[in-house]
């Protein structure tokens, strides 16, 4: 059972035959391989001969010999069709050491349209970024949106499905389970262990020759930091704060080490950083960014159930949805108050507050106050779960978040 990831397919189609490498990035098992398969089917439906398509998934043992970049280049060169464009798909390319050499050489060919995927942001740093600067576009893939989740599950009561989506997240396989309560934790543990074992250890092997990069070797510490970050979404996070938390549990860890371990969780797309933005001064602030987790099911798996809170989970979900919709998202600062999200797309700006309920008068006043303090005329919205308060209040919209997600 699959759901068409239309936004991502449209983006790939837009760049088809353009002289840039298409790089699809995102968490393991968020649907990158399936997306490539769907796109290949679209190509064949449009008249592309199957002989013009070469697809290699480096997690498949039959391609293990091609994890040598020179053998990979030679294999693809030997199988190119000379009479038309060749569409090359290289899935989980970070498993090929020095893959950028093969990718760059293939990109130089006039009859090659190249698509690659990866589960670690480190693949787009360092030498690859330098070598291919200006010659690739990144398409950042996330787990299923609520709209996609609904299509996969079949239409039923939206609010009850939303409750399940909040609890178990949007990873495609989880959404296909008839009984996620019995199976989700086992599946999520497998994904999390794979990220640690494959992606983070691979990250270390790539940094062997870089004296400025410290290794991430203590997996217990990494898990503790991951749990701290998962429980802290919606709150400003500093390296010092994490260090103090670890120290309070009886262990002394340097802030440099903490910083390395946090980056090790950001690179495989487990956490996404959101910087703070001074709305009036129109500048990014350097301290106390927030970190949001890529999937709420993974968050629920990581933290004790008693620490699971609805408000911050809702905020996390809205952050991810704004990213899906193509916005650059920051945390807004207006004087001494904060706006949950400032969403920018080109010259367009929108402001969002997120709260579980607006029925309490003090909460209503608190959530609307920062938006009322902004002097410009860009759209301002408060997203809430309750269905009693939606409407317009002095030009500021209160909108039910389920309706917003399905709009």
For residues 64-101, one letter each, b for 16 or more C-beta atoms within 10 angstroms of the residue's C-beta and e for the rest, the string is eebebbeebbebbeeebeeeeebbbbbbbbbbbeebbb
The answer to whether 316 and 274 are in contact (CB under 8 A) is no
The answer to whether 321 and 145 are in contact (CB under 8 A) is yes
Which among 101, 293, 114 is positioned nearest to 195, based on CA atoms? 293
- Gap between the Cα atoms of 103 and 72, Å rounded: 9
pLDDT at 195: 78
Query: Selecting from 3.40.50.300, 3.40.50.1820, 1.10.540.10, 1.20.120.140, what CATH number does the domain 6-140 have?
Result: 3.40.50.300
The answer to whether 53 and 44 are in contact (CB under 8 A) is yes
Say whether 213 sits in a helix, a strand or coil: coil
394 DSSP β-pair partners: none
DSSP letter at 132 equals T
> What is the token pair recorded at 372?
């009322």
| Residue range(s) in the chain whose domain bears CATH number 3.40.50.300 | 6-140
Task: Give the DSSP H/E element, type plus range, for residue 184.
Answer: helix 180-194
The strand pair at 112-118 and 21-25 is best described as parallel
> What is the token pair recorded at 43?
């190509």
From its phi and psi, is residue 300 left (phi > 0), alpha (psi between -120 and 50) or beta? alpha
For residues 146-164, one letter each, b for 16 or more C-beta atoms within 10 angstroms of the residue's C-beta and e for the rest, the string is bbbbbbbbeeeebeebbeb
- Gap between the Cα atoms of 46 and 9, Å rounded: 14
C-alpha distances out from residue 294 to 63, 239, 297, 343, Å: 29, 20, 9, 18
Q: How many helices (H) and strands (E) does the chain have?
A: 17, 13
- Gap between the Cα atoms of 12 and 103, Å rounded: 18
pLDDT at 208: 47
CB atoms within 10 A of CB 305: 6
Span 295-332, pLDDT tens digits = 999 999 888 665 568 889 999 999 999 999 999 999 98
CA 368, 369, 371, 373: dihedral to nearest 10 degrees? 160
Say whether 175 sits in a helix, a strand or coil: helix
C-alpha distances out from residue 180 to 161, 191, 234, 240, 302, Å: 13, 15, 26, 37, 16
Q: What are the strands, taking DSSP E only, across 266-379?
A: 271-278, 283-293, 328-334, 337-345, 348-355
pLDDT at 306: 57
C-alpha distances out from residue 94 to 91, 117, 146, 263, Å: 9, 8, 29, 17
- Report the length, in residues, of the chain: 407
pLDDT beneath 50: ranges in the chain: 208-209
Taken in order 120, 125, 131, 137, the sign of the CA dihedral is: positive
- Residue 103's φ and ψ, nearest 5 degrees, are -60, -45
Span 72-117, pLDDT tens digits = 999 999 999 998 999 999 999 988 988 888 999 999 999 999 999 9
pLDDT at 180: 86
pLDDT at 220: 86
- Gap between the Cα atoms of 135 and 405, Å rounded: 34
89 DSSP β-pair partners: 55, 115
């Amino acid at each position: 059972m699959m759901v068409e990831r239309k936004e991502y397919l449209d983006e790939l189609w837009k760049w088809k035959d353009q002289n840039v490498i298409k790089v699809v990035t995102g968490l393991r098992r968020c649907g990158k391989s399936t997306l490539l398969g769907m796109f290949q089917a679209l190509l064949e439906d449009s008249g592309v001969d199957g002989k013009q398509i070469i697809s290699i998934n480096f997690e498949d043992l039959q391609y293990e010999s091609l994890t040598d970049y020179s053998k990979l280049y030679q294999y693809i060169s030997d199988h190119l069709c000379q009479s038309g464009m060749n569409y090359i798909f290289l899935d989980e390319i970070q498993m090929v050491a020095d893959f950028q050499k093969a990718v760059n050489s293939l990109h130089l060919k006039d009859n090659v349209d190249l698509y690659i995927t990866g589960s670690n942001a480190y693949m787009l740093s360092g030498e690859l970024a330098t070598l291919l600067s200006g010659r690739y576009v990144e398409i950042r893939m996330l787990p299923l949106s609520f709209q996609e989740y609904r299509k996969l599950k079949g239409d039923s009561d939206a609010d009850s499905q939303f409750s399940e989506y909040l609890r178990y997240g949007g990873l495609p396989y989880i959404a296909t389970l008839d009984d996620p309560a019995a199976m989700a934790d086992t599946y999520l543990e497998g994904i999390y262990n794979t990220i640690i074992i494959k992606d983070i250890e691979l990250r270390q092997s790539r940094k062997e020759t870089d004296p400025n990069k410290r290794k991430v070797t203590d997996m217990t510490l990494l898990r503790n930091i991951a749990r701290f970050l998962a429980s802290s979404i919606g709150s400003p996070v500093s390296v010092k704060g994490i260090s103090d938390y670890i120290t309070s549990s009886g262990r002394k860890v340097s802030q440099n080490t903490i910083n390395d371990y946090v980056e090790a969780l950001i690179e495989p797309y487990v956490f996404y950083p959101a910087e703070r933005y001074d709305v009036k001064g129109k500048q990014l602030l350097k301290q106390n960014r927030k970190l949001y987790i890529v999937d709420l099911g993974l968050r629920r798996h990581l933290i004790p159930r008693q620490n699971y809170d609805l408000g911050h989970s809702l905020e996390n979900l809205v952050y991810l949805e704004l990213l899906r919709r193509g916005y650059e998202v920051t945390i807004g600062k207006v004087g001494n108050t904060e706006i949950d999200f400032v969403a920018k797309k080109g010259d367009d700006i929108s402001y969002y507050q997120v709260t579980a309920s607006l029925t309490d008068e003090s909460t209503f006043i608190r959530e609307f106050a920062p938006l009322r303090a902004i002097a410009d005329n860009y759209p301002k919205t408060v997203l809430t779960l309750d269905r009693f308060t939606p409407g317009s209040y002095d030009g500021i919209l209160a909108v039910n978040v389920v309706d917003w997600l399905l709009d």
